[in-house]
Structure 1
Amino acid sequence: MVLILGVDAGGTASKAVVVSPDGTVLGRGTAGPGNPSAVGSAAAVAIGDAVRGALGPHDPGGVVAGVVGVAGVSILTDPGVAAAFTAQWAAIGLTCPVAVVADAVTAFAAGTTATSGAVLIAGTGAVSALIDDGRVVRTADGLGWLLGDEGSGLWLGLQAVRHAARHWSSSGLAVRVALHAGAASADDLVHWAQRLPFGSFAALAPIVCDFAAEGDPAAAVIVAAAVERLVATLDALDAADAAVVLAGGLLVGPTPVREGVLDTLRRRGVEVGTAHDPAIGAARLAAQTWSSRTVTST
């Protein structure tokens, strides 16, 4: 059986899908974080686990093409990280070419059939990219929690903790953050935050979104700031006429962040699509590559 592999690997999870050439989904798999910039070569292991789950009983030798969309793809220039990915493909039993590309490319492919346009991703991190013929030609942000990722889930979580530390027990959001942290005092919260792996702050993003949707003033201010920063990240591409695909948990699900970004783009008259399943977008790109190779060989 001919199989096509697609993977979407981000800071929170790695999701793989195996499809037939006509696009029928034959299997799915999910594993841990797949961003090598955040977790190094462990990302390759997580992606490998997701691929094994998607393959299930299917023969890995049947996979004729694969595309893996990875957040933090630039670190694959590190020989050790690149070797870890190569080792995973061999351990799984894949013998076909597996292309590893920026997650922006696969997210864009999941939201439109166009070959050129812009994509705005807001999940654990945040980045925008201008895509032309399946290639990233320009990006904005995507700089990680320390230098950027403004408006991301991690950014939202950090703002919530900072608000709680500064306004201890004086708002509903602050009380909810303290409950999440198990903190009995502002000092407890500070100590908790300093021990927490930075990616874990993103777990607070749904809380911020829920409180904002319920009208909590502090949460609403944080969400409005996130929307402003995400739109600014998109504007930094300097491609005002480009159609836009929204991707990542904050911009795909029914969140107030998505609502705010959508409202801004629609008022500008921008054509907007949504990347509901970037793993399928990756599989679509892989299928196109395989089809091109098949046509060329005949």
Structure 2
Amino acid sequence: MMLVLGVDAGGTASRAVVATRDGTVVGRGSAGPGNPTAVGPAAARSIGAAVRDALGEHDPASVVSGVAGIAGAGVLADPEVTAAFTSEWSHRGLICPVALVADAVTAFAAGTSARSGAALIAGTGAVAARIDDWRVNRTADGLGWLLGDEGSGMWLGLQAVRSVARAWSGPTVDGGLAAVIAARAGVTSCDELVRWAGRQQPAAFAALAPLVCGSATAGDALAERLTAEAAARLVATLGELGPPDGPVVLAGSLLTKTTPVRAAVLASLAGPVTTAGDPAVGAAWLALRQITDQEEAVRLHHRMLRPAPE
């Protein structure tokens, strides 16, 4: 049986899918973080574990094409990182080449079969990428939580904690989002909130984003303001790339799930917009595209991902 491999390796988890020549997914696997910027060469081991699980009982030698979308793809020029990936593919028994591309490319492919356009991604982090012929031509933001990622889940959660801390007065916290944040942190005073925040890893703030979105949907004024600001910053980031030469694909949990951030972004965008499906399947489709003609690739895309215009 002829197989292809698709990998979506992000800062939180790595996921892999194995599909047949007709686009049927026959294996899935997941493992730990696969962002080389965050975890260095250890990212390759996480991705390898996801690939192992996806392959299951399938012969690795039957994989004829592979594509891996990597968060932090800018570090792939590092010889140590690329050597780690090469070693991992060999360790897993793969004999075909596995193309390493930016995760923006696989996110874009998960939403459209078009060759060019733009991807706007807002999950834990945030980045906009202009895609030309399935390659990243230019990016905006994607600078990490210290320097950027404006409008991301990390940004939204951190802004919520900052806003609650600044607004806290008296012995008890106000209701609404402030009470939700205090309950999640398990604190009863501003000083305790400050100490709690200082002990957290960055991902803990991203985990607060669904709470902010939920509070905004419930009508909390602070949460509504923060989600509107997140959307405005994401749209501004996309605008830095200029008009896209094709559709805009929305990706990342803040923009693929039903959130007030997604709703506000959609209301601000003109032109064709689609929503990304599974980026790992998008990567598998890119691997299939390498061994099929254009007409067949489009047909397979509709079967595997079925993007729907907004």
TM-score range, shorter chain: over 0.9
Contact 1:244 1:272 in 2 (8 A): yes
Q: CA deviation at 1:152?
A: 0.5
CA distance in 1, matches of 2:32, 2:55: 17
| Deviation by residue 1:84-108 (Cα, 9 ceiling, x = unmatched) | 2222212211111011100111111
In structure 2, the residue matched to 1:246 is: 250
CA distance in 2, matches of 1:81, 1:110: 26
CA distance in 2, matches of 1:114, 1:97: 24
In structure 2, the residue matched to 1:47 is: 47
CA distance in 2, matches of 1:92, 1:109: 25
Letter in 1 for 2:287: A
| Deviation by residue 1:63-113 (Cα, 9 ceiling, x = unmatched) | 111101111101122222222222221221111101110011111111111
CA distance in 2, matches of 1:207, 1:2: 44
State the SS of the aligned residue for 1:151: coil
Letter in 1 for 2:212: V
Q: Does residue 225 of structure 1 match 2:229?
A: yes
Contact 1:121 1:246 in 2 (8 A): yes
In structure 2, the residue matched to 1:85 is: 85
In structure 2, the residue matched to 1:173 is: 177
Alignment TM-score, normalising by the size of structure 1: 0.93
Structure 2: state its 5+ residue gaps: 294-310
State the SS of the aligned residue for 1:155: helix
Q: How many equivalent pairs are there?
A: 289
| Range moving further from structure 2, 111-120 or 82-91 | 82-91
Contact 1:171 1:218 in 2 (8 A): no
Letter in 1 for 2:273: V
In structure 2, the residue matched to 1:5 is: 5
Q: CA deviation at 1:171?
A: 3.6
Q: Does residue 203 of structure 1 match 2:207?
A: yes
Letter in 2 for 1:2: M
Letter in 2 for 1:213: T
CA RMSD of aligned residues (A): 1.4
Alignment TM-score, normalising by the size of structure 2: 0.89
In structure 1, the residue matched to 2:304 is: none
In structure 1, the residue matched to 2:305 is: none
In structure 1, the residue matched to 2:149 is: 149
Q: CA deviation at 1:241?
A: 5.9
Letter in 1 for 2:274: G
1:1-298 alignment, distance < 5 Å: 1-168=1-168, 169-239=173-243, 242-265=246-269, 268=270, 270-291=271-292
| Deviation by residue 1:117-149 (Cα, 9 ceiling, x = unmatched) | 111011111111111111111111111101110
| Deviation by residue 1:159-198 (Cα, 9 ceiling, x = unmatched) | 1111221123124212211221222322222222122111
State the SS of the aligned residue for 1:188: helix
User: Would you tell me which structure has more helix in proportion to its own residues?
Assistant: 1
State the SS of the aligned residue for 1:100: strand
Letter in 2 for 1:279: A
Q: 1:167 to 1:42 in 2, by over 3 A?
A: farther
| Deviation by residue 1:16-55 (Cα, 9 ceiling, x = unmatched) | 1110011001011122222211222222222112111211
Which portions of structure 1, spanning 4 or more consecutive aligned residues, are displaced by more than 3 angstroms? Answer: none
